[in-house]
Amino acid sequence: MNKTMQNHDLVTRAVIYAANGHAMQSRKGTNLPYIVHPAEAMAHASKLSDKPEVLAAAVLHDVIEDAGATVEGLTKEFGAHVAELVLAASEDRDPNLSADASWEVRKQHTLDYLRTVKDEDILTVCFADKLANLRALYYDYAVLGDTLWERFNQKDKKRIGWYYGGMLDVFTCFAETALYAEYKRLWSEVFGV
């Protein structure tokens, strides 16, 4: 198998793995199949990187958090680099705290961690995820208005805006891209800043 075919095979296997892992899940507060989100994240990542490991990690970015996958399993299936990228995009949830109680801690930890990251592959996967999330917020907010925030653990629009705004500083390595300009515009329109 030539290198191009191997690259396509890695991404295809990742898409299938993610689709199977998220098969019975919907996006929070919607009937939308969950796989739409990681597929969108992969599409965003493909505009920033052509590395198959990055694209595979982008579509797999939620399988540890939300589909019960393990780092060991991902390493065996997709290699150490993909597993490391997925782990970097995963939030560490404290089992002793409710999702609501741990929201601020998790989000601050994510911001602090990403501010130290120099690896563009990690930043690409994380940025693609955050942009996909922000796009969903934008479209849902246009339809639902402030009732949108009721579907989340954190119901305070200002706190959610703080988190997504903090990401603007994290992802300055993409500041010259159309995706970054879109992120900035959507954040401003959703959160009124």
Catalytic residues: 65-66
Residue 26: phi and psi, rounded to 5, are -120, 155
First to last CA, the chain: 51
Do 140 and 106 contact (CB within 8 A), yes or no? no
DSSP state letter for 97: S
Burial (CB count within 10 angstroms: exposed 0-12, middle 13-18, buried 19+), residue 50: exposed
Strand pairing partners for 17? none
